[in-house]
Amino acid sequence: MYSRVLLAMVITLVSIAGALSPRSVEASHDVGPDRVYFSQTGQYLGDAFLDYWRHNGAIHVFGYPLTSEFSQDGMTVQYFERAIFEWHPDNPSQHRVLLRRMGADARNDRGLRDDEAFQRAEPRSDASSRFFEPTGHNLSNAFRDYWQQRGGLAVFGYPLSEEFQNEDGMVVQYFERAIFEWHPANSADWRVLQERLGAQAAERDGVDTSRHGHDSSVPEYHPNLWRTLHGPAPRTSPPAGSPSHLGHWIEVDLTNQQLRAWRGNQMVYSAIMSSGRAMTPTLPGTFQVYRKLRFDHMAGWTPDRGSYSLPNVPHVLYYDRGYAIHGTYWHGLFGRVQSAGCVNLPPADAAWIYNFASVGTTIYIHGRAPGT
């Protein structure tokens, strides 16, 4: 019953930044890195695959990446514990990332088409069930809740079976792109899981799951790397006059009190900031980071507030004399002019920008801060 078709596949690895790499197709409402690293499996995840993974359930639904992106039979794919992502560049934007139809493949490979659970059923009359006419199957109770809450038809496809007990005694249900499992002994959020079809396929197909070393310029995955912006929407293209020809650069938007990190013409991070007050303005211009300090003691005098002394200022990027981008622990008034001329960032954002920048990174400061 559970025989499998072994596939011999020739796999050519390509760089994540290569021509086959799926790029984000539209701006997200949240901003953060466009590529991350998973120490659990030693793999990278980026661009449109990262967006899809994050916004459709992440680890809970798909598990960890088992490979980085690569080309397989002319298609860019990536293997995860419970799924395989495919990049379809000619599809409408919302359907360019699709899951491989692994539930349907498993049904066929395991010889289950003629089993009773896979034959058309009658609609159930109870309110907790939903009937799908195209495939003739019901979806009920916890499986229905999981399906609806985790992406529904767009992610999992139609049900291909009713619920049934497999030969291991587990209650399961097959869908076009997944197989749901019921684990009643788990905590409430983890009672419905998906079979690890991606891991099974990786082993069966002989794909390369060897670990990659961690490039320190790429952050390790954590859900808090992304933040929802309040106020002006993130830019989808660089401002006029900016150095978008560079590999990576930093924009300081005085008008909107936002700092943005760019790779070429793609924004990869944005944060609310505080620039200089009217009597101590942040000066516009194009500069380069000339010194990086993990901590620094900043002291001085301003005509409107007198002297100041601030020990252990974190993640400091000096770019023009004593002006710097740095973390700020002594106020939380981001989004308003507040500093003595530097660019103040929340500590977490300053840490990200510090890791993104190197000595020589260009900083483009433009606009006019409110009230200056």
Q: What is the structure's pLDDT at 233?
A: 55
The model scores a pTM over 0.75: no
HEC states along 81-128? CCCEEEECCCCCHHHCEEECCHHHHHHHHCCCCCCHHHCCCCCCCCCC
Sorted by where each starts, the structural domains of the chain and their CATH numbers stand as 11-205 (no CATH), 234-366 (2.40.440.10)
CA 332-338-340 angle, 5° bins = 125
Q: What is the pLDDT along the chain (372 residues), one digit of tens a residue?
A: 333 222 233 233 333 333 345 644 333 346 678 889 999 999 999 989 998 999 888 999 999 999 999 999 999 999 999 999 999 999 887 789 999 999 999 999 999 999 999 999 999 988 889 999 999 999 999 999 999 988 899 899 999 999 999 999 999 999 999 999 999 999 988 999 999 999 999 999 999 999 999 998 888 998 878 765 545 556 678 999 999 999 999 999 999 899 999 999 988 888 889 999 999 999 999 999 999 999 999 999 999 889 999 999 999 999 999 999 999 988 888 888 999 999 999 888 899 999 999 999 999 999 999 887
Query: How confident is the model over 285-344, as pLDDT tens digits?
Result: 999 999 999 999 999 999 988 999 999 999 999 999 999 999 998 888 888 899 999 999
372 half-sphere exposure, CB direction, 13 A CA radius: 25
Give, in order, the Cα–Cα distances in Å from 105 to each of 110, 112, 160, 176: 8, 10, 11, 8
11 vs 77: CA distance, rounded Å: 10
